Amino acid sequence: MKATAAVAGGFNLVDFYPWLESVPGADGLKSKIQKLRDYLDVILDKTIMEHRQRIDSGGGERRRDDCECDDGEEDLVDVLLRLQADATHCTSIRALHLQIFIPTKLPSSMPSIAVTFTFPLPIPIPPLQTKTIKRSSITIISCKKPHHGHHLPPGPAKLPLIGNLHNLFIGRSPLPHHALRELADEYGPLFHLRLGEVPSVVVSSPEIAREVMKTHDHVFADRPRILAVDIGTWGSQDIAFCPLGDYWRQMKRISLTELLGARKVQAFSSIRETEVSNLVDSIRRSSHNGENPINISEKIYSLFNVIICKTAFGTHWEEDDIIQSMREAAQVAGGFHVLDFYPSLEFLHGLSGLKSKILRMRDHKDVILDRVIAEHKQRFVQRRRGCDGGGGIDDVESEDGEDFVDVLIRLEEGGGLQCPITNTSIKAVLVDLFVAGTDTSSVAVEWAMLEMMNPRVLSKAQSQIRQALKGKNAITDKDLQGLTYLKSVIKETFRLHPSIPLLIPRESNQDCVVSEYIIPAKTRVIVNAWAIGRDLETWEDPESFVPERFDGSEIDFKGMHFELIPFGAGRRICPGISYAIANIELLLTHLLYWFDWKLPNGLRAEDLDMSEVFGLAVARKDQLYLVAKSYEAKDLDSGSVEMEVVKVEC
Ligand code: HEM
């Protein structure tokens, strides 16, 4: 070490005549240094190995906080090994400058030695501000970092190859939104993970959600490419997963103005009202005078399936292969398949059989949707011919009774779009709307019904509805305005059970500082709306279902209040909010107006297993069976018609 210090002083002949370096053996310095280095190599390798062994045998279990503070436990080798293990820091480092003072007896011409080593990439950069750490005779006094001192958010240590997948899948809840909340409890509301190959951050507080989805929305509005979804949507030609760009902008605008806007939601009201009335009849029939508990989950799902089919395609398919393949598409869209975390290993999708399964599902959808589009195009041409009074395409632009396919064909035929619509993009958008519009709404109603098995909430909701609609035989959208308690029940349901608990993943398109941490470009951003809805600092008694918490509160779910974001926020916000809420409100009003509900066999809500299954939309694992006591409109004045309930199958 002394000898190293002496040559590092820079008073050697070769330092003044750099060209001498190429002269073999000039002033003997090179060979001297090489000898020194070889000697140090042996000693330092041994030292590093000993430290590594100590860390591996338990010293490595130190908590992050302990490691970061200058607590006298770590020496310099420990610090550097810890940073090396935490590979996340490699991504943002430019260089690490260590200036080392070696206080030793030196030639009198040199009062002390200050040697600066500059380590190039990928030496990891420490997650600390410029800071002095004294360790025996060595002092790190400067540490240059990019991004003005910002570093990555905290997170658990990464393992080679799998990164933090073990933190998600081993020893924690099997449901990603639960596991991620547990991690947020340890690492805070913004933490960093490497999921396989994918650098990710997880957002678990309203404040950080606001920063990501509002302040820096332009940075975080892209979507990661999820292979299964990409194949299933003909190369992400849909709206939900297509990359930010002109195509997405155009299709989002079309979805908001032509497909799901207020005018269109109003235009679809007759489909909604007819189908909900049909469901009421079907429940009356299936309850067999109250003898059979009803599988309400199935009924609700079928209803939303019919409604979306009719609004999208103008017709309705029974539950068959295509519906099944749409449902399976929803499962893979969750983006938590382990293969999604190894994008460079696409061939694994092939080996696992996932790719061929998705291709099979897509081929099946291809056949059916090609046929649907061809039929609609034929009808479009006939309508154009029928009204060809010289007006051409304008004559068929009457939007009455248009379903989604009609609208998209009209826009395709009309031309003039920045990004032309093709049959393939129509198919991708249809799959999107079907997947996004069915399960999401049906699980919301299912959770609402389940939470209303709390008799206090149920009777309060029913008495407001029955009071407001007293004597009505037909209920329409217009009757729903004043149903404030029902609206609070829906908000509370979304708070505790957001249909898509982790929203749809986002991806950053450039480096960005959030809450004083740097989030590099191409980081996957997961917003845990489920954890935010249960945040202890935001909500009082967050685990309880209390719709009254919204009394007199302005909080709603339209993307302005980041404590409640079941539909997301910012430019990627769900365009189907009005459509979904119109369906959900009408259905719940009918269910509560026409029937009294209870759990079969004297069960209470707290007896139910609330376990969930993960997919794009998260439903309860078990289907919900309920018993209905039916009311006829005429009975609302004169009292209830009792329908006995006997059998229980749960
Ligand atoms: C309860 C019902 C629904 C819930 C909870 C829901 C939730 C969501 C969420 C969380 C997102 C991602 C937002 C973000 O990244 O910030 C989303 C996007 C989307 N939703 Fe919904 N949704 C529902 C119903 C619907 C319906 C009925 C449709 C259409 C028929 C629909 C179509 C879409 C589309 C196209 C996107 C992608 C938007 C984009 O990426 O720009 N959703 N939805």
ipTM: 0.99
On whether 574 is known to bind a ligand per the annotation, the reply is yes
Nearest CA to ligand 1 atom 33: 574
| Cα 579 to ligand 1 centroid, rounded to whole Å | 10
Spell out the residues 6+ positions from residue 232 whose beta carbon is closer than 8 angstroms to its own: 329, 332, 333, 358, 361, 362, 431
Question: Could you give the 3-state DSSP secondary structure of residue 337?
Answer: coil
Is 616's C-beta closer than 6 angstroms to any atom of ligand 1? no
pLDDT value of residue 515: 93
pLDDT of residue 220 exceeding 90, the answer is yes
Spatial contact of 165 and 195, defined as CB atoms under 8 Å apart: yes
Poorest-pLDDT segment among 22-26, 133-137, 154-158: 133-137
pLDDT value of residue 38: 76
Is 437's C-beta closer than 6 angstroms to any atom of ligand 1? yes
pLDDT value of residue 4: 60
334, two tokens = 């969750």
Is 430's C-beta closer than 6 angstroms to any atom of ligand 1? no
Is 444's C-beta closer than 6 angstroms to any atom of ligand 1? yes
What is the pLDDT confidence band of residue 68, given thresholds at 50, 70 and 90? very low
pLDDT value of residue 123: 38
E-assigned strand segments in 241-351? 294-295
| Cα 380 to ligand 1 centroid, rounded to whole Å | 29
| Average pLDDT of the chain to the nearest whole number | 80
Q: What is the mean pLDDT of residues 72-96?
A: 57
Using the atom order of ligand 1, give the atom closest to the CA of residue 572. 41
Q: Which domains does the chain have, with CATH numbers?
A: 2-141 (no CATH), 176-649 (1.10.630.10)
| Cα 404 to ligand 1 centroid, rounded to whole Å | 16
Q: What is the pTM of this model?
A: 0.75
Spell out the residues 6+ positions from residue 645 whose beta carbon is closer than 8 angstroms to its own: 287, 290, 291, 293, 598, 600, 627, 628, 629
Nearest Cα to Cα of residue 67 among 179, 160, 157? 157
Poorest-pLDDT segment among 18-32, 47-61, 180-194, 338-352: 18-32
Q: What is the mean pLDDT of residues 45-57?
A: 78
Using the atom order of ligand 1, give the atom closest to the CA of residue 580. 27
Is 574's C-beta closer than 6 angstroms to any atom of ligand 1? yes
Is 493's C-beta closer than 6 angstroms to any atom of ligand 1? no
What is the pLDDT confidence band of residue 44, given thresholds at 50, 70 and 90? confident
Percent of the chain clearing pLDDT 70 (strictly above): 73
Spell out the residues 6+ positions from residue 8 whose beta carbon is closer than 8 angstroms to its own: 113, 115
Measured distance CA(153)–CA(445) in Å, rounded? 37
What is the pLDDT confidence band of residue 607, given thresholds at 50, 70 and 90? confident
For 253-257, the CB contacts below 8 A with 24+ separation are 254/407, 254/408, 254/411, 255/429, 255/433, 255/575, 255/576, 256/575
Which of 249, 313, 567 to mutate to test ligand 1, by most ligand atoms within 8 A of the CB atom? Answer: 567
Report how far Cα 496 is from the mean position of its chain's Cα atoms: 16
Is 572's C-beta closer than 6 angstroms to any atom of ligand 1? yes
Spell out the residues 6+ positions from residue 189 whose beta carbon is closer than 8 angstroms to its own: 203, 204, 205, 207, 208, 515
Nearest CA to ligand 1 atom 20: 574
pLDDT value of residue 46: 81
What is the pLDDT confidence band of residue 364, given thresholds at 50, 70 and 90? confident
Is 244's C-beta closer than 6 angstroms to any atom of ligand 1? no
Spatial contact of 382 and 375, defined as CB atoms under 8 Å apart: no
142: left (phi over 0), alpha (psi -120 to 50) or beta: beta
Is 499's C-beta closer than 6 angstroms to any atom of ligand 1? yes
Nearest Cα to Cα of residue 455 among 626, 597, 291, 588? 597
Most confident residue range from 165-179, 397-411, 509-523 = 509-523
